[in-house]
Amino acid sequence: MDAQRFDSLVRSIYEGVLAPSGWHPVLAELRRELGAEQSAYLVHDRNTRRTLIAEVAQLDLDFVRQYETRYVDLDPVRPVVDAMPEGGWFIDERELGASTRRTSEFYQDFLRPYGLGAIICTPLINEGPTLAGLSFQSHLRDREPGDAKLRRLRPLVPHLRCAARLRARFGELARHADLGRRMLDRFSMPLMVIDAHARVLIANAAAEQWLSEEGHLFSRVCAAGCGVRRLQLERLARTVCAGSGPAMPAALQLTEAGAAAILVGLPLAPAHALSGVFHEPVGMLAVLRPHKPQQASLGLLRELYGLSKAEVRLVLAWSSAGSLADAAAALNLGLETARTQIKSVFRKTGCASQTALTRLVASLGALH
């Protein structure tokens, strides 16, 4: 493989990371380079014991269907590859031998009718529940040794491994972001997940509409450089996202050209489902618009943070009581039970004190 073709392939490997079928050109090119009949990118989940042919080049759709529904459990290749290090190479003539292939139902009843006789593959990810890699199937009449084929691909393996991990991570983020968006879409008010720099990471449908219509208020503040409003917004974001300290609720009023909105920042604990999407502190931003119906605050407290009814009652009682003991007495709770519930509330909300919880309840009250 000359340098120009190698560089072109490396570019294609990384360019295909984000697109669902972005590796199709790469698989097709690698198939041609090896002289293989078919190539595929497979992903096996050890938790579900399910193997998916995620991307293919030149594969017959009936071949894919038969493999995934019938022959996957008869595949003698995967148990061997399962024990291989990432970047290692499976060559069936070396790993299985001729006699095993002659008596294998997988080779004789599945591969042979398609004119296929040999398999080489490499695990690109072999960690935790995930085994993912490339597989190439050659024609029955192909007599070129597998080792000779691999010499042409070995320089690409580090790039393939790196890109495979990027694909997996971006896919995971996309799935989490979709789940997060659907979680927020249950609310009628505009809700956004923001980072400590006040950048919008996820927005529900109501927030998307607000950002496109009245959101110029927010957008102009975000684009205002070092202006006072920009500094106020960043301060709110840092307070809510708790980049360097305990998270606290915060609020900021935006008014411009007769339009107005109150941005209410709410903390999200690291244990919150929406926090798990990102590898940085994040918070929630709710938009309160005058003359617009809002969702009940208690519903928000339960839905956003997953608090039980008993925990909500205790939070509200503690917000107006002098001490946790007073709140527990008012609810006929034992003090130890109250302490256990409050620890759970702290974990779910990211708050670390009675003051923080009181501010959270007050902020949610503004959304009532």
Contacts for 291-294: CB closer than 8 Å, 24+ residues apart: 292/189, 293/188, 294/189, 294/367, 294/368
What confidence score (pLDDT) does residue 234 get? Answer: 84
Sketch out the chain's domains with CATH numbers: 3-170 (3.30.450.80), 185-294 (3.30.450.20), 296-368 (1.10.10)
Measured CA to CA in angstroms, residue 96 lies from 78, 99, 119, 149 at distances of 12, 8, 10, 18
CA distance 141 to 8: 30
What confidence score (pLDDT) does residue 112 get? Answer: 92
DSSP-derived 3-state class of residue 156: helix
Q: What angle do CA 44, 45, 48 make, to 5 degrees?
A: 130
pLDDT bin (cut points 50, 70, 90) of residue 295 is: very low
Measured CA to CA in angstroms, residue 188 lies from 156, 169, 201, 255, 362 at distances of 49, 31, 18, 22, 20
CB atoms within 10 A of CB 157: 17
What confidence score (pLDDT) does residue 365 get? Answer: 62
| pTM over cut 0.85 | no
Measured CA to CA in angstroms, residue 93 lies from 128, 179, 202, 289 at distances of 28, 45, 50, 69
Q: Residue 139: name the closest of 31, 1, 27, 25 by CA.
A: 31
Average pLDDT of the segment spanning 100-125: 92
Backbone angles phi, psi at 98, to 5 degrees: -65, -40
Q: What angle do CA 261, 265, 266 make, to 5 degrees?
A: 140
SS3 assignment for 198-234 = CCEEEECHHHHHHHHHCCHHHHHHHCCCCCHHHHHHH
Q: Residue 43: name the closest of 106, 158, 135, 150 by CA.
A: 135
Q: What angle do CA 215, 219, 225 make, to 5 degrees?
A: 160
CA contacts within 13 A on the Cβ side of 18: 2
What confidence score (pLDDT) does residue 20 get? Answer: 66
pLDDT bin (cut points 50, 70, 90) of residue 140 is: confident
Residue 132 C-alpha from the chain's centroid = 17
Which helix (H) or strand (E) segment holds residue 22: the answer is: none
pLDDT tens for residues 148-199?
777 778 888 899 999 999 888 877 777 777 777 787 888 888 888 888 888 8
What confidence score (pLDDT) does residue 126 get? Answer: 93
DSSP-derived 3-state class of residue 48: coil
DSSP-derived 3-state class of residue 96: coil
Q: What angle do CA 331, 333, 339 make, to 5 degrees?
A: 115
Percent of the chain past pLDDT 90, that is, above it, reads 14
Burial grade of 59 (CB within 10 A; 0-12, 13-18, 19 or more):
buried
Strand pairing category for 200-203 and 191-195: antiparallel
Look up residue 192 and give its amino acid: M
pLDDT bin (cut points 50, 70, 90) of residue 245 is: low
Average pLDDT of the segment spanning 210-219: 67
